[in-house]
Structure 1
Amino acid sequence: MPTTDLNALWQPARAGDIRLPHRLAMAPMTRSRSTPEGVPTEVNAEYYAQRASNALIITEGTQPSADGQGYLLTPGVHTAEQVAGWRKVTDAVHAADGRVVVQLMHVGRIAHPANTPHGRQPVAPSPVRPTGMMYTPSGPQEMPQPRALSTQEIASTVRDHRLAAAGAIAAGADGVEIHGANGYLAHQFLSSNANERTDRYGGSVENRIRFAVEVATAVADEIGAGRTGIRLSPGNPYNDIREDDTHELYAALVRALAPLDLAYLHLIHAGDEKLLDTLRSLWPGALVLNRAGADLAARAKDVADGRADIVSVGAPALANPDLVERVRSGAPLNTPDPATFYSGGETGYTDYPTRHDA
């Protein structure tokens, strides 16, 4: 691929208060390699530091509370031990001249009690069981019916995000990203099938966007809007999500978020170009775009055409610790090994070669 096709990617940028040397960012990817207590380790620090040449590292989803965990061996940022673990990561990334934000991910109903230390029933907007299986220590199991959050518990969950954001900053992170995508808790509130509430958090578009806006407002108030991003995935049916009014819903949500002056909006783009153009026009700040499946030339064109300010990539960054150098030089890329995405250990995690090792 001629590097001239990618020139738009190599210009400096800003995401709120975070200055970026170029526009190619690492997307968040669950890797299931923390301790059972959700504490990041030295191996996690090595993994992220290896990838510090990306314009911005957005970490794997990190639970803001004990009830926010759904998968095995995912990190948290709500205990002192977890914050100390993240300090190892941020120190390593910064020593390698990188920038890192911690993604706050409350999974809601996409969980199983066997995967969590407390073993509690999952929580969600409504007691609607998701279809699909969850991997657990004893093998795949059906996800159970969740328990609906009370309005008081919703307020506590918003507060959990605020405190977790403070913990991430205390750990040295450059900011946080709120996970409002991919069928997890904030997305469940937006959904037509996961949210059957009849109170101020359900029914109308205005009510269904309320939780996401409250979380973003609380986090921005706690750590500063310039260090707060949010990720959305309009029209994404992943994790048994249905949206019957995607254009109206996301236009309303982005309009409500825009006055907060957040550092960035991170969109997972599924191909609805009209909706992308609408949301781009409604968003005044930096827009990070993940155009799933697109090559880098197409992603660079999004930047050149003004559809995005920054682009994020997942598996290529996972498999290529020196992705930026490889892309700049036109070197071939390592192929990701899906068998090791969640397998634990260093294999398929910190042992992908750089172009100089290969």
Structure 2
Amino acid sequence: MKDSLFQTIQLGEHALNNRIVMPPMTRSRASQPGNVANDMMAQYYAQRAQAGLIVAEGTQISAMGQGYAWTPGIYSAEQIAGWKKTTDAVHAKGGVIFAQLWHVGRVTHPENIGGQQPISSSALKAENVKVFIDDGTNAPGFVDVVEPRAMTKADIEAVIAEYRQAALNAIEAGFDGIELHAANGYLINQFIDSEANNRTDEYGGSIENRLRFLSEVVAAMVDAIGADKVGVRLAPFTSLNGTVDATPVETYTAAAALLETHKIVYLHIAEVDWDDAPETPIEFRIAVREAYKGVLIYAGKYDAEKGGDAIDDGLADMIGFGRPFVSNPDLPNRIKHGYPLAAHDPATLFGGDEKGLTDYPEYSPS
């Protein structure tokens, strides 16, 4: 067991009990109609409140921001009230929880956004990308994404306003802060990465221009709720959902430096975590650590030892453990005592009911 994972850490106004993060993971169990967070979700997060920090699943900021069936929103009064159930339940267990604010951009299908054409930085279709729709069964029906339309200046201003309002809504719902989802090929990532952005205005071309939308969204949310309640998630080296950058080290080091100017409370780096994926270059980790001075979170292929080493080496402050949290609600306790980890059932990750969500037990030593 790595003691470093169990050191306390200050995150804004919150003194966290440990450095273990439950990162955002889509589970697609919001109540229909309306994509409303529900009692089942509140129980799921409360079960995992041992985490130093929970970042709730991606939550769309508008109806146009939805990429998959049954994901929760945070733009209606009913959705805000639904999320209040989760935040109350987590706080009752002594936990700290941030909302992840999400707009998928082109990674959707008209079926999920009221028949509209998706929007993106550019009119470029994400190749070989599928999303799931509600096809009338309890199982997700996968379909190809479609070509988006390029956002106008008015679209950009409108979406920035939606992010700002969503941040205010999250605080109203009882969240301790928000994480901006700027990773994994979704809308903000579609502006950042060079191969997904062919704009010729001030939002395209140079790295500075491609980071402009990110900067303006963060500025709006910081203005609304305070920098100590705003985190950002980036994915420098992934090609998820078809976004690729030609110079990721340069681009994302610049992004870290930009986010330092906004004094956000944390920067969350999502590493590639599939089998045989390349390691994040140590030179990049050092550069990010030098560029950004706030709380630095890494999530990817971490176990307790590797995560503890990253903290001991000064390259990370907190570590996210994703799918282990699905099937191990008491993951911090299992790590602390060296208890075995349970495996999750992949068939129950998306959609469905309590099975595979709230029915994984805590470990009981025999």
Instruction: Tell me by how many angstroms 1:16 deviates.
Output: 2.3
CA contact (8 A) 1:16 1:262 kept: no
SS at match of 2:67: coil
Of 238, 257, 260, which aligns to 1:258?
A: 260
CA distance in 2 between partners of 1:68 and 1:206 (Å): 25
Within 5 A, what are the aligned runs for 1:68-147?
Answer: 68-116=65-113, 118-131=114-127, 132-138=129-135, 139-147=141-149
Per-residue deviation, 1:356: 2.7
- Structure 1 pair 357/349, CA: closer, same or farther in 2 (3 Å)? farther
1:342 aligns with one of 347, 350, 354? 350
Within 2, Cα distance between the matches of 1:73 and 1:82?
13
2:45 is matched by which residue type in structure 1? Answer: Y
Judge conservation of contact 1:269–1:276 (CA < 8 Å) in 2.
no
Number of corresponding residues: 352
Q: Secondary structure at the match of 2:219?
A: helix
Name the SS for the 1:239 alignment partner.
helix
Offset from partner CA, 1:289-348 (integer Å, 9 cap, x none): 11x223210111101111111111100111111111111111111101111100320110
5+ unaligned residues in a row in structure 2: which ranges? Answer: 136-140, 273-278
Secondary structure class of the residue paired with 1:102: strand
Whole-angstrom distance in 2 between the partners of 1:256 and 1:134: 31
Q: 2:241 — aligned with what? A: 239
Identity among equivalent pairs (%) = 42
User: Structure 1: which amino acid aligns with 2:152?
Assistant: S
- Distance (whole Å) between structure 1 residues aligned to residue 191 and residue 13 of structure 2: 29
Please say if 1:280 is aligned against 2:289: yes
Does residue 352 in structure 1 map to residue 360 in structure 2?
yes
8 Å Cα contact 1:17-1:263 kept in structure 2 = no
Q: What are the superposed Cα offsets for residues 148-174 of structure 1, whole Å, 9 maximum, x if unpaired?
A: 110111011011001000000001100
For each residue in 1:215-264, what CA deviation from the matched residue of structure 2 results, as whole angstroms up to 9, or x when unmatched? Answer: 11111110110010000010211111110011221121111110211110
Inter-partner Cα distance in structure 2 for 1:273 and 1:137: 42
CA offset digits 1:155-214 (Å, max 9, x no partner): 110110010000000011000000010000110101122111111100111100001111
Counterpart Cα distance in 2 of 1:86 and 1:357:
34
Match of 2:210 in 1: 208
Residue 72 of structure 1: CA displacement? 0.5
Secondary structure at the counterpart of residue 58 of structure 1: strand
Unaligned ranges ≥5, structure 1: none
Structure 2 SS opposite 1:165: helix
SS of 2:241's partner is coil
Counterpart-to-counterpart distance in 2, 1:350 and 1:219? 32
Match of 2:150 in 1: 148
Q: Is the 8 A contact 2:195 2:246 kept in 1?
A: no
How far does residue 357 in structure 1 lie from its aligned partner after superposition?
9.2
